[in-house]
Amino acid sequence: MDKMSSGAEPANRGIVLLCEDEPIVALDMKLIIEDAGYGVAGPFSRVSAALEQVGTPLVAAILDVRLRDGEVFPVAEELARRGVPLIFHSAHIIEDDIASRYPGSRYCPKPIDDKMIGAALRECALPNA
Amino acid sequence: MNDQVSRSGDPVEAADGAEASTFVVGVGASAGGLEALRDMLGSAGSDCALAFVVVQHLDPHHESLLAELLGRHTSLSVRQAVDGERVERGAVHIIPPGRGLSIRDGRLNLTDFAQPRGLRRPIDDFFESLAIDQGRNAACVILSGTGADGSAGLRAIKEHGGLAVIQEPETAKYDGMPTSAQATGLVDFVLPPQEIIESVRQFFEKSAPGSGGQALARTVEETLDDICAVVRTTAGHDFSGYKKSTLGRRVQRRIQVLDLPDAKAYLRHIRSRPDECEILFRELLIHVTRFFRDPEHFRTLRRDVVRPLVHDANSEEIRVWVPGCSSGEEAYSLAMLFAEEVRQQKRSIDIQVFATDIDERMLRVARNGVYPHSALADIPEGMRDVYTVARDNASFQVSARIRDMIRFSVHSLVRDPPFSNIDLLSCRNVLIYFDDKLQSTVLPIFHYSVRPGGMLFLGPSESLGRSDHLFHPLDQQARIFERNDSRPEYPLQLGGPLDDRRARRRPPERVDGPATRVGWSNNEATGRILEAYGPATLLVTAQGEIIGSTGKLGRYLEITPGEHGAHYAAAIARPGVREAISSVVHKAGRSTRRAISRDLVATSEFGRQVFDLIAEPLSDRTILLVFRERNRFDPMDEDDFEDVESSDSHMQSLEEELRATRARLHTAVEELETANEELKSSNEEMMSMNEELQSTNEELATVNDELKDKVEDLSVANSDLSNFFATTTLPLVVLDMEGRVRNFTKAIQAIYPLRSGDRGRPLAEMTSRIAQDDAVLAAIDAVRRTGERREERVEDPDAERIWNLIATPYRTRDDRIEGVTLVFSELTDALRLEGELKAEGDRLRLALDVARMGVWEVGADGRRILFDRTVAGLLELDDQELPFEEFLVRVPDASRAEAETALRHQEETTLPFALTFDFVVAGGSRRFVQMVGRRTRGPRGPRTLGILYDVTEAEEARRVREIMLHEMNHRVKNQFSIISGIVRIAGMSAATVPDLVSGVTARIGALARSHNLTHQLPSDRSLTLKDAVQSAVDPYQGHAAIRIEGPRVEVASEALTTLSLLFHELATNTAKYGVLGPKDGTLSIVWTATETDEIQLDWLERYDTPNVAPPDEPSGFGSTLMQMSAAQIDGRIEVERTTNMRRTRLIYGQDV
C-alpha cells in the first residue's frame, strides 16, 4: 500500500479493487481508475474471485452491488473489516441503504461519472479518510 | 185558480214550451201503498221510458227502505231522490223521509214542510208542482191510502192537461185516497195496479211528438164546433165562447184516454153515449180553487172593500155574488171575511152571498162544505177555529153560521139573468177560460149586476179588456175594480133558445130504464093523443112503483105523479082503486096474461067513476095499468056516502090475502126465532173468541215492542253493513244456493258489472272480466256441494290483472250452507313485485357469482358475522357463520382495530367503507380479501352488511409489477453505464470523429441485437450459441463464405451480452482487417464442447492470398475488451496468426 501523497506518479498511488460484471463497464472503470493514477485489482465479475483478493494491500474498493454469483456484500464486509474505504457503484441499491450498513462508504450511481469516481478515490486515499 | 194560471194567463200554455219528451209520472201512496207500488212498478218493462216519482207518506224519523224494497221487484232503477237531481227515464225517484218534494225544470227539489205533521200534503204539493212543470207530459197515479191527499193535486194535473189515474178502490188495501180522488170526477183511468203503467205508457205514446198528436189536434179543431153543439144539447151548457185552445186540448185528451183514432170517431162516440158528454162537460169545467187563494189579494180586499162595506152598511143587507164558485172555497172565504169583519166591528148586518155555478155536482160539494183536513192550512189561523168544525181525522166542515150566509144555486153566467144590486162581485179565474167575445159579453153583465159604487174582484191574471169603461181600478195589483155610475145596459142576448133546454139536463145517476121512457115522450102527436084521448094509464113495476103515466089520472089517484117521483100506485090511489091496483098488479106480476078487475068505482071528492082496471104484463117485467071508463063520471052527491063500501068479493080476496100473509108471517117469525137462537150462540162464541183475541192482542203488542227493538238493532247493523259494502275495496259477492246474486260490495264492479237491480239474477248470466269463468263456476259448485272453501287463481283476458278467488260457504247461524261467498283479492301488484324481486335477486346473484363476490352481514347485536356460501368457500370456513371475536382473531393485527370499528357499527355513520387485509384461512395460509360494506338501519335495529371478494391474485400481480419495475430501472441504468463505457472506450481508440461514431454505433447495434435475441425468442426455446454467432455475422452476409457449425449449446442470458459483444468485436476486426473486409478468403466459426465441460470456439479466417506480413494488430483496446469480456465469463482468448490464416479461440466454462 503506497501512502504517498497524491499528485506524484499516478500509477503508484496504490491499488483499487474493482468488482464489476459488465465487460464494457468494467473496462471503462478500469481505464478511469488507471487514469486517476491507481492500479486496478480486477475487475472481478464474481464475489468468489474478489474475495481471493481482499487480503492484498488496497487503497480503496469500487464495488458493483450485483455480481454474477450474487451480491457483493461479503466482499464489502471483509474490506470494511480491513478498513478499506468503499465506493459503491450501482444502478441497484439506494444510497441510504448502503450508507447505513457501511458508515463512511461512498456511493457513485451508474452511469459512471469519471470525475466523481476520481474525487471519491482521492478522498479515500487521504490519510485518515 | 192556481198560481200558474195567474202567471201565464192560460192554464195550459205553460207546459207547451217544454219540449222534453220525458213523461213524468207522479205516484202518491200512503197506507197499503207498498204492495200497490210493488205490483205497479213490477209490471214495468226495462225499456220503460217513463220517469216515476213516488211520494209516499213516510215516518220522518226513520230511514226509509222503500227504494230497496221496490228495487227488488222492478227492472227500473229505483233510488231515493236527491236535491237537484234530474228525473230520468226508466228511473223511480223516491221521496226521502221527512222532506217534501217538488219539481222544477225537470229537477227534483227537496223542501221542508211548512205545516205541522198532521196537515202536510206532500202528494198534493208535488202533483201541483208537477202539473206546472210538466203540464201535458205529467201523469199522476193515486194508490192505496187513507185520507184525501192527492185529490187536489190531481185536479191541478188535470187542469194543466195531464193524465189522472187511480188504483181501483176494490184492489186497494185502503181505499180512502183513491175514492176521494174518484169523487172529483176527473179521473181518466181506474185500474188495478199492475195495469197502470201500460195504460199510462199507451196514453203518452199517442201524445208524443210525431205520433200523430198534431194531426189529431187538427181534426179536433175541425170538429170542435160539432162537439160543443153536442155538449150544448145534452148537458145544456154552451162552451163555444170558451178559449179554443183549452177546449181543443181537453177534447184531445179524452180522445187519447178513450184510445179513439180521431175526432170524428169521438164525435160519433159522444153522440151515442150521453155519459161521455157528462165526462167531457166535467173535464171542460176543471177548476182548481182553494181557500183564500192569493192571500195578499184577500188582505187587500178585506182592508179596502170588506171593512168599508161593513162599516158603512145601514142595516141593509150586503149582497155578494160569486159566479163560477166551483167547489165553494172562494165563496166560503168571502163569507168568512165578512163574518170576521162584522164580528170585529160588532155590527149586526145581513150578509147574503150568492154562489153560483153551472155544475150541479160541484155545487153539491160546495153545499156540504166538507173539505179534506189538509185544506185547513189555507185558512188564516185566526179563522180556523171559529169558522170550521172538525168532522173526523181526514176532514172538516165549514161551520153552519157561515154556510147559512151562502145560497148555492145552478146558474149560468151567459144564459141566466144576473143577480142585481150586488155590493161585491167576485169572479176569479173564470174569465181566463172565455175567449174575447165571451168576455166582452160577460163584463157588461157584471156591470149591470153590481150596484153603482160596488166592487168587482177578479183573478190575478184577468183584466177588463175592452170593457174598461165600465169599471175603474181601485187596486190594480189585487184586481179590485169599482163600478162606474154609467147606466147599466141589460144584456139582451141572454136567455134565448137555451132556456128551454135547461130543463132537459138531468143528473145521469137518476136515469133508470131509458129505453122504455123514450116511447112515452118522443112524439108530440102521440103525446097529444095519449094526454087527451087515450084512457088514463100507468106504467108500474112489478112492485107497483110508478114509472110513467099518461092521461087524466086525477079521478084515480090522489096526486098526479111527476116524471120523477118514486111513488107506489097503490099508495096514492083513491079509495076504491087502491085495493084493485094491489090485486091486479099482484096477479099480473105472476103470470104473463092480462088481468082485469071489473066494475070498480073510484071515489074522489068530486064524484064517482065506474071503471075496469086492466093489468097487462109487458116483456120487460113492467106492468101496464089501464083505467077503462065504464060510465060517465058521476058527480058527487051528499047522499051517496053510504056507497063507499067495497064489494064482498073484494073483501074476500083481501081476507084471503091476509090469511096467506099471516101464514107467511108465521113462517118468517119461526125462521127469525131460529136465526136468533143461532145468533145468540154465535154471539157467545164470539165473546169467548174476543177474550182470546184480546189476550193474543196483548201478546202481540209485546212481541211488537220486542220486534221494534230488534228492528232498531238491525237497522244499525244493516247500516254498518251497507257502509261496509259500499266502501270496502274488497270485491265480494254473496250467492244463494241457486247461484243467484244476493249481495255484493261496490268494489266487485272491477270484475262483475253488478248493479243493484242485478240482485236475484244468476251470477252465471253475468259477463265477467275474468278469463276463467268456468273455473269460478266450478269452484262455486264445489263449495256448494262440499261445504269446503276453495281457492282459485283467476285473471282478466289480457292477463293484466290477477286475483286470488276465495270461495267459502255461506253459513247461517244454525250452520246450514245457504250460499257461497266469493272474495277476490287482487294479486297483480304482489305478483309483479315478486317477479321483479326475483329477477333482481337473480341478476344480483349472477353478478356476485361472476365476480366471485360473497355477501356477509353483522347483526344488530354485533356478536356474530354471517356469510354466504361464496364467502365461506373463499375463507375456507366450514360454517356460514362465525362468532365475531373468532373472525377478528384471524384478521391481521394491523387491520384488526379498523375492522372492529367498521363491522361492529360502533360509529354512527352510514357511509360505505372498504377494508383490505390478508385473512388467515383454515390451513394457516393467507388470503388477501377485500370487504366492502355499509351500515343500514333496518326495522330491527342497525346492521352492517356488504360483500367480500378475493384480491390475492391482484395483490400478487402488484408485487410482481413492482419487482419488475425495479429490475427494469436497474437494467436501464446498467445500459446507460454500458453505453457511456462504449463511448468512453471508443473515444480512446478512435482517430477521427467518424471512426468514433461508427465504432460506437456498431457496438450499440451489437448490444441491441443481443437484447433483441433475448426478447424475440419464443419462450419455449432457450438461446443457443449459434444464435449469438449468427447475430454477430448477419450484417456481413455476402462478403465471404461463412461457415457456422457446432453442437447445440445453450447460452445463459447473463452471458449473452458478453458473448454478443465478444463476437461483435471479432466480426468488426474481421471486417476491418480480414476476410469480411479487405482480404479474400473464408470464415469458419466452429465450436465444440470439451470433456471438461468447456466450450471451445474457433473463429478461423483463411486467406486466399497469403499475407506478406502479419497485419497490424488492432488497437489494444479491442483486444483488452475481448480479453476482459472473456474473463467476465471465466473464459480466455487465444489468438494464432499465420500468413494464411488467423484464428481466435475462445474457451469458456459452460456453466456460466
| Alpha-carbon torsion angle B370, B374, B379, B380, nearest 10 | 150
Q: Which long-range contacts (C-beta less than 8 Å, at least 24 apart) are formed by B1119-1123?
A: B1120/A27, B1121/A23, B1121/A24, B1121/A27, B1121/B985, B1121/B1061, B1121/B1065, B1122/B1062, B1122/B1065, B1122/B1066
Longest Cα–Cα distance in chain B: 235
SS3 readout for B70-122: HHCCCCCEEEECCCCCECCCCEEEECCCCCEEEEECCEEEEECCCCCHHHCCH
Q: Is B1054 near chain A, with CB under 8 Å?
A: yes
Cβ-contact B553, B584 below 8 angstroms: no
Alpha helices in B208-304 (DSSP H): 213-235, 244-258, 263-272, 274-284, 295-301
Cα separation of B1036 and B1042, whole Å?
A: 9
Which residue in A has a C-alpha nearest to residue B1007's C-alpha?
A: A24
Same fold, B289-495 and B728-831: no
**Ordered domains of chain A (ranges, CATH):** 12-125 (3.40.50.2300)
Cα separation of A112 and B2, whole Å?
A: 136
Nearest to A110 among B977, B1128, B1130 (CB): B977
Residues of chain A neighbouring B980 (CB-CB closer than 8 A): 28, 111-112
Q: Determine the distance in angstroms separating the CA of A38 from the nearest CA of chain B, rounded to an integer.
A: 18
Pairwise CB contact (< 8 Å): B1128 & A92: no
CA B1049 to each of CA A10, B1007, B1098, B1146: distance values in angstroms, whole numbers, following the listed order:
45, 21, 15, 14
Q: Enter the CATH code of domain B289-495.
A: 3.40.50.150
Supply B1004's cell numbers. 450499440
Pairwise CB contact (< 8 Å): B1054 & A68: yes
Which residue in B has a C-alpha nearest to residue A35's C-alpha?
A: B988
Pairwise CB contact (< 8 Å): A45 & B1054: no
Cα separation of B1076 and B1072, whole Å?
A: 7
Does the pTM surpass 0.90? The reply is no
Alpha helices in A1-129 (DSSP H): 23-35, 47-51, 73-81, 95-101, 114-125
Q: Is B1115 helix (H, G, I), strand (E, B) or coil?
A: coil
Torsion-angle region of B1111 (φ positive above 0: left; ψ -120 to 50: alpha; else: beta): beta
DSSP code string of B359-416 = -HHHHHHHHHTEEEGGGGGGS-HHHHHHHEEE-SSSEEEE-HHHHHHEEEEE--TTTS
Give pLDDT, residue B837.
92
Q: Which of residues 1123-1142 of B touch A (CB under 8 A)?
A: 1124-1125, 1127-1130
One-letter amino acid for residue B468 of the chain: D
Cα separation of B907 and B420, whole Å?
A: 118
Q: What is the ipTM of this complex?
A: 0.81
CATH superfamily label, B3-205: Methylesterase CheB, C-terminal domain (3.40.50.180)
Q: Is B477 near chain A, with CB under 8 Å?
A: no
Cα separation of B618 and B1128, whole Å?
A: 179
Cα separation of B331 and B405, whole Å?
A: 10
Longest Cα–Cα distance in chain A: 37
Cβ-contact B250, B295 below 8 angstroms: no
What is the DSSP code (8-state) at residue B491?
-
Q: Is A30 near chain B, with CB under 8 Å?
A: yes
Nearest to B978 among A24, A30, A66 (CB): A24
Pairwise CB contact (< 8 Å): A22 & B1124: no
One-letter amino acid for residue B424 of the chain: L
Give pLDDT, residue B511.
35
Pairwise CB contact (< 8 Å): B976 & A110: yes
Give pLDDT, residue B920.
76
Pairwise CB contact (< 8 Å): B1124 & A31: no
Which residue in B has a C-alpha nearest to residue A20's C-alpha?
A: B1128
Pairwise CB contact (< 8 Å): B1061 & A25: no
The size of chain B, in residues, is 1152
Architecture of domain B520-646: 2-Layer Sandwich (3.30)
Supply B617's cell numbers. 104484463
Nearest to B981 among A27, A45, A92 (CB): A27
Q: Determine the distance in angstroms separating the CA of A45 from the nearest CA of chain B, rounded to an integer.
A: 6
Pairwise CB contact (< 8 Å): A111 & B976: yes
Is the domain defined by B1010-1149 classed in CATH 3.30.70.260?
no
Supply B136's cell numbers. 201535458
Cα separation of B622 and B615, whole Å?
A: 10
Q: Is B170 exposed, middle or buried (0-12, 13-18, 19+ CB in 10 A)?
A: exposed
| Partner residues linked to B601 by β-bridges | B610
Residue appearing with cell numbers 174582484: B457
Q: Which fold has domain B851-950?
A: Beta-Lactamase (3.30.450)
Q: Is B1008 near chain A, with CB under 8 Å?
A: no
Alpha helices in B935-1047 (DSSP H): 952-989, 993-1016, 1025-1033
One-letter amino acid for residue B1033 of the chain: V
Domain ranges for chain B, please list them: 3-205, 212-285, 289-495, 520-646, 654-723, 728-831, 851-950, 1010-1149
Lowest mean pLDDT across A26-35, A93-102, B1105-1114:
B1105-1114
Torsion-angle region of B237 (φ positive above 0: left; ψ -120 to 50: alpha; else: beta): beta
Pairwise CB contact (< 8 Å): A25 & B984: no
Hey, CA dihedral for B972, B973, B975, B976, is it positive or negative?
positive
Segment holding B734, helix H or strand E: strand B732-736
Q: Determine the distance in angstroms separating the CA of A110 from the nearest CA of chain B, rounded to an integer.
A: 6
Interface test with B, best of A18, A20, A27 (most B CBs within 10 A): A27
Cα separation of B5 and B270, whole Å?
A: 29
Cβ-contact B1093, B1150 below 8 angstroms: yes
Segment holding B662, helix H or strand E: helix B648-727
Q: Enter the CATH code of domain B728-831.
A: 3.30.450.20
Q: Which of residues 76-115 of A touch B (CB under 8 A)?
A: 91-92, 109-112, 114
Residues of chain A neighbouring B1149 (CB-CB closer than 8 A): none
CA B909 to each of CA A80, B866, B902: distance values in angstroms, whole numbers, following the listed order:
59, 21, 10
Residues of chain B neighbouring A68 (CB-CB closer than 8 A): 1054, 1128, 1152
Nearest to B974 among A28, A45, A110 (CB): A110
Q: Is B355 helix (H, G, I), strand (E, B) or coil?
A: strand
Residues of chain B neighbouring A110 (CB-CB closer than 8 A): 973-974, 976-977
Give pLDDT, residue B1114.
53
Interface test with A, best of B975, B1068, B1128, B1148 (most A CBs within 10 A): B1128
Please, which residues have CB within 8 angstroms of residue B737's CB and are 6 or more apart in sequence?
Answer: B784, B817, B818, B819
One-letter amino acid for residue B861 of the chain: D
- Peptide bond before residue A43 is cis, with ω within 30 degrees of 0: yes
Residues of chain A neighbouring B1061 (CB-CB closer than 8 A): 23-24
Q: Determine the distance in angstroms separating the CA of B838 from the nearest CA of chain A, rounded to an integer.
A: 59
Q: 3-state SS of chain B: helix, strand, coil percent to 5?
A: 45, 25, 30
Contacts A–B by Cβ distance under 8 A: 80
Torsion-angle region of B853 (φ positive above 0: left; ψ -120 to 50: alpha; else: beta): beta
Cα separation of B179 and B173, whole Å?
A: 12
Residue appearing with cell numbers 482468448: B1133
Q: Is B984 near chain A, with CB under 8 Å?
A: yes
Cα separation of B994 and B634, whole Å?
A: 206
- pLDDT (tens digit per residue) in A98-120: 767 777 777 777 777 778 888 88
Give pLDDT, residue B521.
43
Q: Which of residues 916-935 of B touch A (CB under 8 A)?
A: none
What Rg do the C-alpha atoms of chain A give, in angstroms?
A: 13
Pairwise CB contact (< 8 Å): B979 & A68: no
Pairwise CB contact (< 8 Å): A26 & B984: no
Cβ-contact B267, B223 below 8 angstroms: yes
Torsion-angle region of B621 (φ positive above 0: left; ψ -120 to 50: alpha; else: beta): left
Hey, CA dihedral for B155, B157, B163, B168, is it positive or negative?
negative
Q: Determine the distance in angstroms separating the CA of B991 from the nearest CA of chain A, rounded to an integer.
A: 18
Supply B939's cell numbers. 326495522
Nearest to B977 among A66, A68, A111 (CB): A111
Nearest to B985 among A21, A27, A46 (CB): A27
Q: Is B352 helix (H, G, I), strand (E, B) or coil?
A: strand
By C-alpha distance, which of B610, B601, B595, B559 is closest to B576? B601
Nearest to A111 among B980, B1003, B1128 (CB): B980
- Using 70 as the pLDDT threshold, list the residues of chain B that sit under it: 1-21, 61-65, 115-119, 207-215, 286-288, 315, 393-394, 488-524, 527, 559-567, 636-649, 681, 688, 695, 905-909, 922, 1017-1020, 1108-1117, 1150-1152
One-letter amino acid for residue B972 of the chain: V
DSSP code string of B826-876 = E-HHHHHHHHHHHHHHHHHHHHHHHTTEEEEEE-TTSSEEEE-HHHHHHTT
Q: Is B431 helix (H, G, I), strand (E, B) or coil?
A: helix
Q: Is A43 near chain B, with CB under 8 Å?
A: yes
Q: Cβ of B23: how many Cβ atoms within 10 Å?
A: 25
Q: Cβ of B670: how many Cβ atoms within 10 Å?
A: 10
